[in-house]
Amino acid sequence: MLPQEVIRAKRDGQMLEPGHIAGFVQGLCNGTISEGQAAAFAMAIFFNGMSRNEAVALTLAMRDSGTVLDWSETAGGRPVVDKHSTGGIGDNVSLVLAPMLAACGAFVPMISGRGLGHTGGTLDKLDSIPGYTSQPGLGQFRKAASAAGCAIIGQTADLAPADKQLYAIRDVTATVESVPLITASILSKKLAAGLGSLVLDVKVGSGAFMATTEDARALASSLVSVANGAGLATSAILTDMDEPLAPVAGNSVEVLNAIGFLTGAERCARLRDVTMALGCELLCLSGLAVTAHDALQALEQSLKTGAAVECFARMTGALGGPADLVEKPGSYLEVAPLEVAVYPERAGYVSSIDGRQIGLAVIELGGGRKRPEDKIDHCVGLTRLAGRCEQVDRDHPLAIVHARDRTSADQAVERIRQAYTIAAEPPERRTAILQHLKADDI
Ligand code: URA
């Protein structure tokens, strides 16, 4: 079918055949389809959506546009698993969950992203470790994953290149916010990474891309349905992002927080709840645990025995980081020269937090990018972020700003004050886990 006929059919709300979708994706990669045609195709999908079969066909065609990794020789019989988050603030789950799963017998080749919009990126956080190679060649990736049971790296150019091309076009044609396009984009990369099972952390709230539970549920349903349709055992958990997940936001500060979690020096309850829920789901999906209770015990043991922090140390070491990073994180993770405490204008309880403003404060400090080519300042960020229901006053700040200079610190202080609403009474508590979504629920 001619590309313009494929676009016309989708424009008019018709169902596309898998072969037509595959042909279009091939054409995008070999240059026989123009950027204009790809943009029109994306816009037609934006307005008319896709059926589950169409979205599965698009996902598989994008997966097959590049290398599909095969871990059968490297994983040594261990189930190959991963988790994906739709992005949030203070979300360093990947840094702690990957080594915990590895310590429980899983093989975790995790392909992570950089910061997107106001949210932080796992890869940017790892880049604050001196020497860590976040974009290694396939050989080093395999070696590190084999040695540690987990390795967290960035997307390579040969994994789902059609997604890279289409994403760049969507980014400048107002077609990012389409559920089938987001679904195919995320899952094509996960399928190309050669996984056996996947759990999705779909965030809801002011610090997430999906502000409402309805929108988040629609995305989660699509992801779970299409992933399973493409042969990848997947479930999702909707989690609350109406406040930062950990009381820190930035790069070095989040790595420090993750190391503190793994060693037991500091374990915040919300980060723990979400990590455990995602881990239990994945251990059960992959067959490493029979019940959620067994899975929880295995994850707890991985922390208690030090096996998880050992996997983290092996992973960072194998990817070029310091051998004694977990023993002496303060010697390696750079700290910003200026620390400023942000106090509330009046004493009371935190009743709501605009998570997006917190993310923007980190970007303005230099911890995120304003333009794609910007370099990140890894040492800046926020710590001791007060959570919902917490009491704040002259002795208990909203946050500590870690800044490079006075001007950026003042700007962050202002943004943080705006992000927090203080009330005389504490609001009702909310749990971090909102809903589980399994293939059978859809
Ligand atoms: N993340 C992705 O990888 N793709 C999207 O389309 C949106 C978020």
**pLDDT tens digits for range 51-103:** 999 999 999 999 999 999 999 999 999 999 999 999 999 999 999 999 999 99
State whether the beta carbon of 185 lies less than 6 angstroms from ligand 1.
yes
CA pair distance 14, 1, nearest whole angstrom = 14
Ligand 1 centroid – CA 427 distance (Å): 34
The one-letter amino acid at 214: E
Residues 240 and 225 in one domain: yes
State whether the beta carbon of 111 lies less than 6 angstroms from ligand 1.
no
| Contacts of 385 by beta carbon, 8 Å cutoff, 6+ apart | 90, 244, 247, 248, 249, 358, 398, 399
Ligand 1 centroid – CA 186 distance (Å): 5
Q: Counting every residue, how long is the chain?
A: 442
At residue 157, does pLDDT exceed 90? no
- Determine which residue's CA is closest to atom 7 belonging to ligand 1: 182
CATH of the domain at 22: 1.20.970.10
CATH of the domain at 353: 3.90.1170.30
Task: Answer whether residue 437 is part of any domain.
Answer: no
The one-letter amino acid at 166: L
Residues 173 and 268 in one domain: yes
State whether the beta carbon of 85 lies less than 6 angstroms from ligand 1.
no
Q: 35-48 and 161-171 are packed helices; what angle lies between their axes, rounded to 10 degrees?
A: 80
Q: Which atom of ligand 1 is nearest to the CA of 189?
A: 3
Q: 292-304 and 269-285 are packed helices; what angle lies between their axes, rounded to 10 degrees?
A: 120
Ligand 1 centroid – CA 162 distance (Å): 13
* Burial degree of 167 (CB within 10 A; 0-12, 13-18, 19+): middle
| Contacts of 317 by beta carbon, 8 Å cutoff, 6+ apart | 323, 325
- Determine which residue's CA is closest to atom 2 belonging to ligand 1: 186
Ligand 1 centroid – CA 170 distance (Å): 10
Q: Which atom of ligand 1 is nearest to the CA of 182?
A: 6
In eight-state DSSP terms, residue 350 is E
Task: Answer whether residue 283 is part of any domain.
Answer: yes
Helix (H, G, I), strand (E, B) or coil at 401: strand
CB 308, CB 96: distance < 8 Å: yes
Read off the pLDDT band of 2 (50, 70, 90): very high
Residues 216 and 267 in one domain: yes
The mean per-residue pLDDT over the stretch 162-189 comes to 93
Residues 139 and 282 in one domain: yes
For residue range 195-228, list pLDDT tens digits in order. Answer: 999 999 999 999 998 999 999 999 999 999 999 9
- Determine which residue's CA is closest to atom 1 belonging to ligand 1: 186
In what helix (H) or strand (E) does residue 96 lie, and over which residues does it extend? helix 93-103
- Gyration radius (Cα) of the chain, Å: 22
Chosen domain end from 284, 304, 328? 328
User: How much of the chain, in percent, has pLDDT values that exceed 70?
Assistant: 100
Residues 282 and 222 in one domain: yes
Ligand 1 centroid – CA 116 distance (Å): 9
Q: What is the pLDDT of residue 265?
A: 97
Task: Answer whether residue 396 is part of any domain.
Answer: yes
State whether the beta carbon of 58 lies less than 6 angstroms from ligand 1.
no
Full domain range(s) for residue 265: 81-328
Q: What is the pLDDT of residue 372?
A: 77
Residues 47 and 171 in one domain: no
Chosen domain end from 292, 307, 328? 328
Task: Answer whether residue 16 is part of any domain.
Answer: yes
Tokens 């919300």 map to which residue? Answer: 270
Q: Which residue numbers are catalytic?
A: 82-85, 122, 170, 185, 189-190
Whole-prediction pTM: 0.95
Task: Answer whether residue 76 is part of any domain.
Answer: no
Task: Answer whether residue 75 is part of any domain.
Answer: no
Q: What is the pLDDT of residue 216?
A: 96
Residues 321 and 353 in one domain: no
Tokens 């010697």 map to which residue? Answer: 331
Ligand 1 centroid – CA 250 distance (Å): 21
Read off the pLDDT band of 117 (50, 70, 90): confident
CATH of the domain at 120: 3.40.1030.10
Q: What is the pLDDT of residue 267?
A: 96
Residues 364 and 343 in one domain: yes
Ligand 1 centroid – CA 220 distance (Å): 13
Return the number of other C-beta atoms located less than 10 Å from residue 323's C-beta: 11
For residue range 270-323, list pLDDT tens digits in order. Answer: 999 999 999 999 999 999 999 999 999 999 999 999 999 999 999 999 999 999
CA pair distance 169, 163, nearest whole angstrom = 10
Residues 312 and 216 in one domain: yes
- Determine which residue's CA is closest to atom 6 belonging to ligand 1: 182
Task: Answer whether residue 366 is part of any domain.
Answer: yes
In eight-state DSSP terms, residue 323 is T
Pocket of ligand 1, candidates 82, 110, 116: which has the most ligand atoms within 8 Å of its Cβ, to mutate?
116
* Burial degree of 328 (CB within 10 A; 0-12, 13-18, 19+): exposed
Chosen domain end from 328, 356, 373? 328
Q: What is the pLDDT of residue 399?
A: 98
Residues 52 and 155 in one domain: no
- Determine which residue's CA is closest to atom 8 belonging to ligand 1: 182
Mean per-residue pLDDT over the chain, rounded: 96
State whether the beta carbon of 186 lies less than 6 angstroms from ligand 1.
yes
Q: What is the pLDDT of residue 44?
A: 98
CA pair distance 294, 40, nearest whole angstrom = 50
CB 21, CB 1: distance < 8 Å: no
Task: Answer whether residue 435 is part of any domain.
Answer: no
For residue range 216-260, list pLDDT tens digits in order. Answer: 999 999 999 999 999 999 999 999 999 999 999 999 999 999 999
Residues 87 and 43 in one domain: no
Residues 196 and 303 in one domain: yes
State whether the beta carbon of 182 lies less than 6 angstroms from ligand 1.
yes
Q: What is the pLDDT of residue 114?
A: 86
Pocket of ligand 1, candidates 82, 182, 187, 188: which has the most ligand atoms within 8 Å of its Cβ, to mutate?
182
Q: Helices marked H in 305-389 — which ranges?
A: 307-318, 329-332, 355-362
In eight-state DSSP terms, residue 203 is E
Q: Which atom of ligand 1 is nearest to the CA of 186?
A: 3
Number of domains in the chain: 3
- Determine which residue's CA is closest to atom 5 belonging to ligand 1: 182
At residue 376, does pLDDT exceed 90? yes
CA pair distance 136, 320, nearest whole angstrom = 10
| Contacts of 8 by beta carbon, 8 Å cutoff, 6+ apart | none
